[in-house]
Structure 1
Amino acid sequence: MGSTTFRIGGDLEVRRLGFGAMQLPTGPGPAREASVRIAQRAVELGVTLIDTAYLYGGGANEKLLAEALFPYPDDLLVTTKVGVAHTTGEWKLDGRPEVLREQVENALRRLRVERIELLQLHRIDPETPLADQVGTLRDLQGEGKIGRIGLSEVTAAELDEARKTVDIASVQNRYSLLDREHEPVLAACAAAGTAFLPWRPVAGAATGAPDGLTAVASELDATPAQVALAWLLEHSPAILPIPGTARLAHLEENVAAADLRLTPAQRERLDRLTAPA
């Protein structure tokens, strides 16, 4: 499988199997208490990469993570995303420089940090020049408020375009064993040493998994979702999956997938399940 860790931006080392916090309930009461415990348990299990975003509850998810984990362990990276705003009564892409700057300032406050070590642009706003969007993040980086800059849901061409303005440390696109549309973006990331964070990394594996996947899972005495995560970790050393859940048992299953080993024959059978687009 190769290394169990990855240096984002060439210097920020994290364990490759992370945790996506999007599904954690943030409302008051027992559900929130359970969310706090899940975030804490992820860290106890050795997770050092946790992904959140302003979009997740309008900052409520960021506040939850701060409540659960602050003061943060030295080796923990909490990465967040900006660029989606709720300014007209509905969520919409908004990459205007003043909006991005305000969202970063607010994220710093909610996460209780002076610098966000990895800040991702949630989506490219088609109404704002890309150079202006990543240029604003570059300026904030220069001010010491951002450590490294990432993108989300981009094409290989958009990644190349963004790199003309600033170094890109990570890309977060939808990708899984059964959904490989963004294989070209993954290849570009791997070639450049850029972290690739697939979201929905077990899509199609948790429920209704194809026979080929369930057969391998049975052979390894594992769940299809665990096999899908193990496949991702073996598919490319640049992949840092961030599976999310609001259930403790699922969290523990996901983290355990890092120890799963596929045989070459099993990997080949899984590769054939869905040919890259």
Structure 2
Amino acid sequence: MFTLGGDLPVRRLGYGTAQLTGPGYWGPRGDARDAVAVLRRAVERGVNLIDTADNYGPSVAEELVAEALRPYPEDLVIATKGGVVRTGDSAWHVDGRPEQLRAMCEASLRRLRLERIDLYQLHRLDPAVPMAEQLGALDELREEGKIRHVGLDTVSAEQLTSAMELTSVASVQNRYNLADRASEPLLELCEERGIAFLPWFPLGNGALTGDPECARIVAAHGATPGQVALAWLLHRSPVLCPTPGTGTLAHLEENLDAARLSLGAAELSRLSALG
């Protein structure tokens, strides 16, 4: 368990909704009933951290979360993101203007059918807008009771330090996995400050899963490479809260079973050396 923002206990292996949408996170993935089934099964398996975003679809993922999970369980923590506008399956536009962030947040509240979003994450810092203005807009929404906690997506340790001088930050999301440790300084800062780190792309691209050392560990546990990659994250740091996504029940069960995998110190050391 990890206590997000100091008051929201979450199981560290959550579920991300990006894979419920089509290629390029554009449009629906397929039959909405399949997506609803995956979301409901995740919660049945004990997941209580759902990570989504307004631009997944766009709007599709948030609407599916509401369709599948309302009335929401009392302990369910829903995280969503705003600050990026989509105009096509390969078109992403950062927009951190305060008025735009407010409109995005209020639209997410309507789609999710919530009065308050547990964790609202700035999907990208807008280089054209002062950080103080972007975070100030989120602070206003928090003061109005529309946001409980603020998070940041894709930032450096230096940017997080600057942000913490302006407001309280409950979480960050950066790319981090067995093969990609570029955000190690950010992870260390999160550990020091008790900030949740939700690694996106937690399974990586499979680049290391064919490594003989990794293969031996996979075989020793009767696991899959993906399960070993997720288990390594859970062992790596107590602030890491992976939210792997999938659109199928079979893959969901596989991912969630990774939480049962216990890796020894020597195995963890060998896996860490691969990166």
Could you say which TM-score interval applies, normalised by the shorter chain? over 0.9
Matched, 1:71 2:71: yes
Aligned match of 1:43: 43
Correspondence list, 1:150-161, <5 A: 150-161=151-162
Partner Cα distance (2:191, 2:209) in 1: 30
Aligned match of 2:248: 247
Correspondence list, 1:139-218, <5 A: 139-205=140-206, 209-218=210-219
Select the residue among 8, 12, 26 that pairs with 1:12.
8
Please give the secondary structure, in 2, of the residue aligned with 1:23.
helix
Matched, 1:25 2:21: yes
Q: Any stretches of 5+ residues in structure 2 without a counterpart? A: none
Q: Aligned partner of 2:85: which letter?
A: A
Paired residue total: 270
Partner Cα distance (1:86, 1:151) in 2: 19
Identity in percent: 51
Partner Cα distance (2:161, 2:149) in 1: 17
8 Å CA contact 1:170–1:195 kept in 2: the answer is: yes
Q: Aligned partner of 1:71: which letter?
A: P
Aligned match of 1:257: 258
Aligned match of 2:94: 93
Q: Aligned partner of 1:44: which letter?
A: E
* 1:54 positional shift: 0.9
* 1:206 positional shift: 8.3
* 1:15 positional shift: 0.2
* 1:211 positional shift: 2.3
Aligned match of 1:61: 61
1:39-64 deviation line (CA, Å, top 9, x unaligned): 00000010000110011012111001
Partner Cα distance (1:268, 1:208) in 2: 16
* 1:252 positional shift: 0.3
8 Å CA contact 1:80–1:120 kept in 2: the answer is: yes
8 Å CA contact 1:206–1:224 kept in 2: the answer is: no
- Closer, same or farther in 2 for the Cα pair 1:156/1:242, shift >3 Å? same
Aligned match of 2:272: 271
Partner Cα distance (1:180, 1:86) in 2: 28
Please give the secondary structure, in 1, of the residue aligned with 2:79.
strand
8 Å CA contact 1:206–1:225 kept in 2: the answer is: no
- Closer, same or farther in 2 for the Cα pair 1:55/1:207, shift >3 Å? farther
Q: Any stretches of 5+ residues in structure 1 without a counterpart? A: none
1:36-89 deviation line (CA, Å, top 9, x unaligned): 100000000100001100110121110011001111101111110000024799
Please give the secondary structure, in 2, of the residue aligned with 1:272.
helix
* 1:207 positional shift: 8.5
8 Å CA contact 2:82–2:104 kept in 1: the answer is: yes
Please give the secondary structure, in 1, of the residue aligned with 2:18.
coil
- Closer, same or farther in 2 for the Cα pair 1:30/1:243, shift >3 Å? closer
Q: Aligned partner of 1:36: which letter?
A: V
Partner Cα distance (2:245, 2:221) in 1: 22
8 Å CA contact 1:81–1:120 kept in 2: the answer is: yes
Aligned match of 1:126: 127
Partner Cα distance (1:190, 1:148) in 2: 18
- Closer, same or farther in 2 for the Cα pair 1:249/1:134, shift >3 Å? same
1:239-258 deviation line (CA, Å, top 9, x unaligned): 00011111111100111100
Please give the secondary structure, in 2, of the residue aligned with 1:184.
helix
* 1:271 positional shift: 1.0
1:115-139 deviation line (CA, Å, top 9, x unaligned): 0010000000111111111111011
Please give the secondary structure, in 1, of the residue aligned with 2:31.
helix
8 Å CA contact 2:197–2:241 kept in 1: the answer is: yes
* 1:155 positional shift: 0.1
